[in-house]
């Protein structure tokens, strides 16, 4: 893995992690176009650079994370369903991760839903994600479990879950960002543990690439989050729906054309 590939993947991660467009789908296209092999380190890299994007949320919403202890408990409650489902169905999830077709179909289906989500949930009652109840947090957490299907998009699932629970588009998006912190920290920790349990090691050059990837992902994610909040508040999700359909279609066309695609 070289510096150019590091920069490209970090930019993709930073741009797509918090948008409802599936970072997995974009990683498939990015790695395929660069001809990258899914080596253990490449797989670790695509997960470990999430730490940089997580930090972007903490920096942008620093004050929100220290508003009340109740806020943390709600995040824990929302995180529990994904943690339980992930442990119970880890083997099934790993099998689905091997299928780029699953990613493409999920992208298209999720895109169709985003075309209509603004029309379905157009009477929000909560403009501040801090005002949600524990039950609402848990229900949004259940929606997050849908993101275990590759290509669904964790952000899309939790934002739609928030809107279904009467949150405004902005509040739903922000709670999705907050929920990403424990979810992605847990995912990164598990990936690191599995990596070393399998007997792998990290060289000095690989540590350098991880540091660069996290820094680039952090900067790009800050820009993406700020832009996304403004766009979704003003225009809604229809543009993201069409974009997902196009990306899913591109992956399907590449598969039908005989390209060998890998889910990194």
pLDDT tens digits, 208-240: 999 999 999 999 999 998 888 888 878 888 888
- Using the CB atoms, write b or e for 5-28: b if 16+ within 10 Å: bbebbbbbbbbbbbbbbbbbbbbb
- CA 11 from chain center: how many Å? 14
Q: State the helix-helix crossing angle for 23-34 and 3-16, rounded to 10 degrees.
A: 160
With a pLDDT cut of 90, the percent of the chain lying above it is 24
Measured in degrees and rounded to the nearest 5, phi and psi for residue 142 equal -65, -40
CB contact at 8 A, 13 and 49: yes
Structure tokens at 136: 């609402």
Spell out the per-residue pLDDT of the chain, length 264, in tens.
899 999 999 999 999 888 888 887 788 778 877 888 878 888 888 888 888 988 898 888 887 777 777 888 899 999 999 888 877 776 666 666 667 888 888 899 999 999 988 888 888 777 777 788 899 999 999 999 888 888 888 888 999 999 999 898 888 988 888 898 888 888 888 888 888 888 888 888 999 999 999 999 999 999 998 888 888 878 888 888 999 999 889 888 888 887 767 666
- The confidence score (pLDDT) of residue 218 equals 94
Q: Indicate the average pLDDT of the chain.
A: 85
Residue 96 burial (10 A CB sphere; 0-12, 13-18, 19+): middle
Tell me the H-state helices in the chain.
Answer: 3-16, 23-34, 40-48, 50-60, 69-88, 90-96, 100-120, 134-144, 154-164, 169-197, 204-235, 238-256
What is the spatial distance between Cα 164 and Cα 199, in angstroms, rounded to a whole number? 44
- The confidence score (pLDDT) of residue 169 equals 86
236: left (phi over 0), alpha (psi -120 to 50) or beta: left
CB contact at 8 A, 24 and 151: yes
Q: What is the DSSP string of 195-243?
A: HHHTT----HHHHHHHHHHHHHHHHHHHHHHHHHHHHHHHH-SHHHHHH
With a pLDDT cut of 70, the percent of the chain lying above it is 95
Tell me the per-residue pLDDT of 18-62, one tens digit each, with 9 for 90 and over.
888 888 778 877 887 788 887 888 888 888 888 898 889 888 888
Q: Measuring CA to CA, which residue among 172, 182, 92, 98 is closest to residue 140? A: 172
Q: Measuring CA to CA, which residue among 238, 198, 260, 216 is closest to residue 44? A: 198
CB contact at 8 A, 146 and 152: yes
Spell out the domain ranges in the chain. Answer: 3-62+69-256
C-alpha neighbours within 13 Å on the C-beta side of residue 132: 33
């Amino acid at each position: 893995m070289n510096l150019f590939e590091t920069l490209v993947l970090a930019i993709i991660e930073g741009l797509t992690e918090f948008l409802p467009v599936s970072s997995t789908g974009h990683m498939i296209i990015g790695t395929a176009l660069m001809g990258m092999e899914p080596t253990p380190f490449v797989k670790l890299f695509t997960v470990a650079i999430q730490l940089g994007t997580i930090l972007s949320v903490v920096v942008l919403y620093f004050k929100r994370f220290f508003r009340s202890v109740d806020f943390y408990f709600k995040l824990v409650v929302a995180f529990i369903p994904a943690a339980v489902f992930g442990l119970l169905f880890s083997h099934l999830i790993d099998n689905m991760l091997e299928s780029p077709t699953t990613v493409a179909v999920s992208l298209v289906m999720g895109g169709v839903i985003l075309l209509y989500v603004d029309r379905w949930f157009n009477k929000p009652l909560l403009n501040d994600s801090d005002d949600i109840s524990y039950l609402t947090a848990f229900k949004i957490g259940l929606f997050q479990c849908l993101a275990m299907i590759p290509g669904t998009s964790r952000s899309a699932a939790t934002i739609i879950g928030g809107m279904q629970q009467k949150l405004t588009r902005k509040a739903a998006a922000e709670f999705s960002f907050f929920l990403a912190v424990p979810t992605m920290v847990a995912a990164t920790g598990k990936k690191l543990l599995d990596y070393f349990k399998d007997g792998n090691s990290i060289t000095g050059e690989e540590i350098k690439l991880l540091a660069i990837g996290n820094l680039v992902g952090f900067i790009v994610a800050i820009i993406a989050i700020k832009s996304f909040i403004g766009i979704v508040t003003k225009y809604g999700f229809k543009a993201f729906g069409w974009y997902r359909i196009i990306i899913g279609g591109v992956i399907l066309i590449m598969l039908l054309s005989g390209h060998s695609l890998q889910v990194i």
